[in-house]
Structure 1
């Protein structure tokens, strides 16, 4: 029988989203289960690819990367994946999305200054198979996260029998 995600797994994820450095004991006590259960659930979700890795959330603006660009890219037909892979390998890029609409790709990247942004945009625009770019600068970050509020979105499913 294949592994499935259940309400207890979601509750473990909620705890890890709050603080991935919580001990297994802390999570187990809060959820009213054994430490071994939490350990096994986390390993199951890692095996399934639900949990990919545990990383710190870094405020890049505190490191000087406070210039954020959202760049729409149009690629030549048949070369979209190639362009996306080139963009994904750029060190400033935090996200590459294959999208519908006016552009083929949306890329989010962070920079220390206008000069590095300018060099990046010119380099991207000059890539083979890139037809057009459109750059927007972020004026204010209202919300930026890699998590969704699982507790709220799954509240009806969080009850463990």
Structure 2
């Protein structure tokens, strides 16, 4: 199912599920003028193809007290240290995303902390304490005016 090509009905289903992942298939079928069975089959095919990876609850980091969002570019001492460094970064709850990149940094991470003091502690005691990391550059996000998934 790797090469599953989505059509307009699949796109409509994806848009509806992105708006409300809990919409009943019967309601979705009625809105799209097809049977609930058709919706079920299409969703299952898109799951098998890896297009739909799952559903999740959207959580407000700010409402949970995470007021500081920042991005940290990381330079490694050695490229071979990448897998071990990713494992260590994955163990840090403040690291919410990580990317292996080209350009100025080997790894680019997104970090959420409760305060600037918390960020300082995470940087010094956790991230920069990883031996394989040669240097870091931190960019603090002031706001996130655009945040969306790709459009199917």
User: TM-score, normalised to structure 1's length?
Assistant: 0.85
CA RMSD of aligned residues (A): 1.7
Q: Secondary structure at the match of 1:127?
A: coil
Aligned residue in 2 for 1:130: 133
Cα distance in 2, alignment partners of residues 2 and 116 from structure 1: 43
Change (3 A) 1:31 1:65: same
Query: After superposition, where does 1:3-18 map in structure 2 within 5 Å?
Result: 4-7=4-7, 8-18=9-19
Aligned residue in 1 for 2:123: 121
Q: Would you identify which runs of 4 or more consecutive aligned residues in structure 1 move more than 6 Å?
A: none
Aligned partners of 2:25 and 2:40 also within 8 Å: yes
Gapped regions of structure 2 (runs ≥ 5): none
Q: What CA deviation, in whole Å up to 9, does each residue of 1:54-82 have, x standing for no partner?
A: 11111110111121010001112211122
Cα distance in 2, alignment partners of residues 119 and 134 from structure 1: 15
Q: Offset at 1:125?
A: 1.0
Cα distance in 1, alignment partners of residues 104 and 59 from structure 2: 32
Match of 2:113 among 111, 114, 117: 111
Gapped regions of structure 1 (runs ≥ 5): 151-161
Aligned partners of 1:3 and 1:44 also within 8 Å: no
Cα distance in 2, alignment partners of residues 112 and 38 from structure 1: 42
- Greater shift in the superposed pair: 65-74 or 8-17: 8-17
Q: Offset at 1:3?
A: 6.0
Aligned residue in 2 for 1:82: 84
Cα distance in 2, alignment partners of residues 118 and 80 from structure 1: 23
